Amino acid sequence: MGITKSPEVSNRGLQIPLNLPYTRMNKEDFLNKLRKNTHVQFDMPKTEVQGIQYEDTLKQFIEMTESVGGKVIADAPKGSDLNDLVRLAYPEAKVFASNLPEISLELLKANVAKGGNADEVELRNPDTVAEANDLNGTDVGIVRGQVGVAENGCVWIPQTMKEKAVLFISEYLVIFLKKEDVVNNMHEAYARIAMDPKYNFGTFISGPSKTADIEQALVMGAQAARGVTVVLL
Torsion of CA 142, 143, 144, 145, to 10 degrees: -120
- pLDDT at 225 > cutoff 80: yes
Among candidates 186, 189, 100, which has minimal Cα distance to 147? 189
pLDDT of residue 195: 86
- pLDDT, average across residues 168-190: 96
Question: Could you tell me which residues come within 8 angstroms of residue 199 by beta carbon, excluding any fewer than 6 positions away?
Answer: 158, 159, 160, 164
How far apart are the C-alpha atoms of 220 and 207, rounded to whole Å? 10
Dihedrals phi, psi of 80, to nearest 5 degrees? -60, 145
Angle at alpha carbon of residue 109, lines to 170 and 146, rounded to 5° = 45
Label residue 18 by pLDDT band (50, 70, 90): low
Domain extent listing, the chain = 3-36, 57-232
pTM of the model: 0.76
Question: Cα(139)–Cα(178) distance, rounded to whole angstroms?
Answer: 24
- The residue among 2 and 101 whose pLDDT is bigger is 101
pLDDT tens digits for 56-74? Answer: 999 999 999 999 999 999 9
pLDDT at 16: 54
pLDDT for the residue 2 = 47
Nearest to 132 by CA among 107, 104, 96, 168: 168
The answer, yes or no, to whether residue 21 has pLDDT greater than 70, is no
CA distance 83 to 110: 9
Which of 3.40.50.1460, 3.40.50.2300, 3.30.365.10, 3.40.50.10420 would CATH assign to domain 57-232? 3.40.50.10420
14 versus 165: the higher-pLDDT residue is: 165
- Cα 50 to chain centroid distance, Å, stands at 24
3-class secondary structure, 73: strand
pLDDT at 48 over 60: yes
CB 154 within 8 A of CB 148: yes
Predicted local confidence at residue 101, as pLDDT: 95
